[in-house]
Amino acid sequence: MRLGQAEVERVRRIVGSGVVDAHRVSDRGYAPNMRWVVRTEDGRSVFVKYATDRQTASWLRAEHAVYRRLRGKFFPQLLGWDDDGESPVLVLEDLSDAVWPPPWTPDAVDAVLAALEELHGGPTPAGLGALDATQYAEDGWPEVARRPEPLLSLGLCTAAWLDRALPVLVAAASLDALAGDATLHLDVRSDNLCLRDGRAVLFDWNHAAVGNPQFDIAFWLPSLRAEGGPEPEEVADLDPAMSAHVSGFFAARAGLPVIPTAPGVRAIQLVQLRTALPWAARALDLPPLDGPNR
């Protein structure tokens, strides 16, 4: 698939140099926006992302707003932006030559934790919503209690286990546990970060919000473990409520029908649930999972 002529012209206007070559990046991320690495006439290589529908346009505008308002060594360099009102285009530095986990080393894990510590300890920009008003606070364990069939269809636990565990999980996943005043990324995962000169660089900031910094770390830990990293408890000593919130997010979603525009999402949610749910069981002193696919 080639970069369209209209997009070529928009990139030229944004970066001030013509496009010599472009190749699509399709091996990272789950959102349906389009991503390209573009080589320009003046010898630069840049990363271009543009929206493909109304939702991805909204996400891209939110991401751009974060780049404009925040600064830090954990950010990629913002090179340009163009919004025609329908399909915005974001241009960032090309990080293709960075280190992209996995595999995960102790130093790589520490680099991500250091980046998050810097983010969480820094200023909070105006305009970010509260964590407890985002999707991360919606449709968790209360939704599973209302409709347990999608979770049970995965075979991770039996109905008897769920009946016993649900009161504990619902109580632990209180909205109060999400409150805080730190800036959060909220989508830390290997496809949204890389390592350069020993430091972690984070991108895809469209979910950024303000809340409890522990949740930002907690939401990363299931994917880290799934990619060969340590168990969540070995990375950080977190409030058990974090494991309840994270496991509830994935438990309410992993068994739902495939999303047509993002077909890989349910599979990666299940992968993360396989770590998050046993973690919550350990953290909350629940019995071990007893399903055939546990």
Within this chain, do residues 245 and 171 fall inside the same structural domain, yes or no? yes
Is the distance from CB of 155 to CB of 292 less than 8 angstroms?
Answer: yes
Provide mean pLDDT across the span 91-95.
96
Domain containing residue 20: CATH number: 3.30.200.20
Q: What is the pLDDT of residues 68-80, one digit of tens each?
A: 999 899 999 999 9
Cα separation, 166 vs 20, in Å, equals 57
Number of domains in the chain: 2
**What does the pLDDT read at residue 158?**
99
Question: Of 27-31, 86-90, 222-226, which has the strongest mean pLDDT?
Answer: 222-226
257/120 same-domain check: yes
238 pLDDT more than 60: yes
Neighbours of 108 (CB within 10 A): 21
β-strands 45-50, 89-93 pairing: antiparallel
One domain, residues 183 and 123: yes
Looking at residue 103, what is its pLDDT?
A: 98
Residues 152 and 257 in one domain: yes
Q: Is 99 inside a domain boundary?
A: no
SS (H, E, C) 247-283: HHHHHCCCCCCCECCECCHHHHHHHHHHHHHHHHHHH
CB proximity list for 156: less than 8 A, separation 6 or greater: 273, 274, 277, 289, 291, 293, 294
Single-letter code of the amino acid located at 118? E
Whether 124 and 40 map to the same domain: the answer is no
Q: At which residue do the structure tokens 């060969």 appear?
A: 228
Residue 116 counted as domain residue: yes
Going by pLDDT thresholds of 50, 70 and 90, the confidence category of residue 30 is low
Q: 117 CB contacts (<8 Å, ≥6 apart)?
A: none
Is residue 1 scored above 60 in pLDDT?
no
pLDDT digit string (tens) for 33-44? 788 999 999 999
Q: Does residue 128 sit in the same domain as residue 85?
A: no
* Structural domain of 55: 5-93
Q: Is there a domain that residue 44 lies in?
A: yes
Q: What is the pLDDT of residues 146-194, one digit of tens each?
A: 999 999 999 999 999 999 999 999 999 999 999 999 999 999 999 999 9
89 and 185: one domain? Answer: no
Q: What is the mean pLDDT of the chain?
A: 95
